[in-house]
Homo-oligomer: A and B are copies of this chain.
Amino acid sequence: MGEHTYTPTAKDLSYTFGGVPPVASLRSGDVLTLFTEDCFGGAVTTVDDLPSQVCTFPYLNPVTGPFFIEDTEPGDTLAVHFLSIVPARKTGVSSTFPHFGALTSTSHTAALQPPLEERVWLYDIDAEAGLVRYRARNSDFTADLPLDAMHGTVGVAPAAFEARSTITCDAHGGNMDTPELRAGTTLYLGVNMHGAMLGLGDGHARQGQGESSGVAVEIAMTTTIAIEVIKGVPTLWPRIESDNAIMSVGCARPLEDAFRISQHDLVGWTAQLTGLDTLDAYQLVAQAGTAPVGNVVDPNYTMLASLPKHLLRGADLYGGTHERLRATPHPDATGTGAP
């Protein structure tokens, strides 16, 4: 097991999954502590820094990486376990963004109305207290919300020689924007090319389900992951395992197709794990499952289908990968702060 740290400079950041050369190599079993910039590349630091003015398309939502994962081929699965996700700054930022979000017309749900006002909110992050402080802009209203740090964007190079913007998500992962991707969980991604090409970024101090304004509480992160390569086991859509649940991720529009993909994958996974036939597994998922909403704002929306693990009665989940990675000792993370 190797322990690595990686802190990118601005020019090392990536804006696509696929089509980008690797910044470093990792092996199965390695632990990596890395720094990720926020979705605005750190350019929004006051409420007067309007994202549409201080950021330049397509230099949005940078990811750290890609990391070449040795000995991975199409048909393998890459497991990425989050040992820790720690805010690397004291202030998180959110905003509205012109014609982006669930409660506005957009470039695709096109309308003739002018955009909503672009407005920035700053959040105080108190990592020790585990709090994120919301402050209204037009009143003195404040609210302390639980810190629930996560990565919005984690993915590998897509199949079919594609390179996809880090703004979107699909079968390769990407901008899934689900609050389920927090420390303690393991993400399984199907490998589409030699080296897998893992990248991650878009840390959120927290977000609501659906991320309806289009922007979470964005913040740079110092994150430690442990990875494992599962040879010869394909994974079609991203899957997440926590201590208590298995989850299938669907990314699509309309939202019901994201729901269908995630439910379909979970039904098949459940059937495989339990020996139930397909309809019996469908029935079990329909009554016992939950459907945590990811984002309803990105180019593809995200829905998860989740089932409590105790219903699987000890079935073999990717050969015990999650338990193994969960037990990985956390390295000392010094030296990985913001550049």
Which residues of A does B touch, CB under 8 Å?
15-16, 18-19, 57-58, 94, 96, 102-105, 107-117, 119, 121, 132, 134, 136-139, 141, 143, 145, 159-165, 167, 206-217, 250, 252-257, 259-261, 263-264, 267, 274-280, 282-291, 293, 296, 301, 303, 305, 311
In the assembled complex, the Cα of A145 lies from the Cα of B260 at a distance in Å of 23
**Residue from A110, A137, A159, A279 having most chain B Cβ neighbours under 10 A:** A110
In the assembled complex, the Cα of A104 lies from the Cα of B105 at a distance in Å of 7
B residues less than 8 Å from A213 (CB atoms) = 282-283, 285-287
In the assembled complex, the Cα of A94 lies from the Cα of B164 at a distance in Å of 30
B residues less than 8 Å from A250 (CB atoms) = 110
Cβ A104 vs Cβ B111 within 8 A: yes
In the assembled complex, the Cα of A214 lies from the Cα of B282 at a distance in Å of 10
Cβ B208 vs Cβ A287 within 8 A: yes
B residues less than 8 Å from A58 (CB atoms) = 159-161
Instruction: Tell me which of B16, B96, B103 contacts A264 (CB under 8 A).
Output: B103
B residues less than 8 Å from A165 (CB atoms) = 160-162
B residues less than 8 Å from A134 (CB atoms) = 283-284, 287-288
Cβ A282 vs Cβ B96 within 8 A: yes
B residues less than 8 Å from A111 (CB atoms) = 103-105, 111, 113, 116, 260, 264
B residues less than 8 Å from A102 (CB atoms) = 256, 259-260, 263
Min distance, Cβ A307 to any Cβ of chain B, angstroms: 9
Apart from the given pairs A116-B279, A209-B291, A210-B286, 4 other A-B contacts in the complex at a CB distance below 8 Å: A103-B263, A109-B260, A141-B280, A212-B286
Closest to A213 in B: B286
Cβ B112 vs Cβ A260 within 8 A: no
Closest to A145 in B: B288
Cβ A139 vs Cβ B301 within 8 A: no
Cβ B160 vs Cβ A280 within 8 A: no
Cβ B286 vs Cβ A207 within 8 A: yes
Cβ B282 vs Cβ A212 within 8 A: yes
Min distance, Cβ A39 to any Cβ of chain B, angstroms: 14
- 6 inter-chain pairs at a CB distance below 8 angstroms, sorted by A residue, are A16-B161, A105-B111, A108-B257, A208-B288, A209-B290, A293-B293
B residues less than 8 Å from A161 (CB atoms) = 15-16, 19, 58, 163, 165
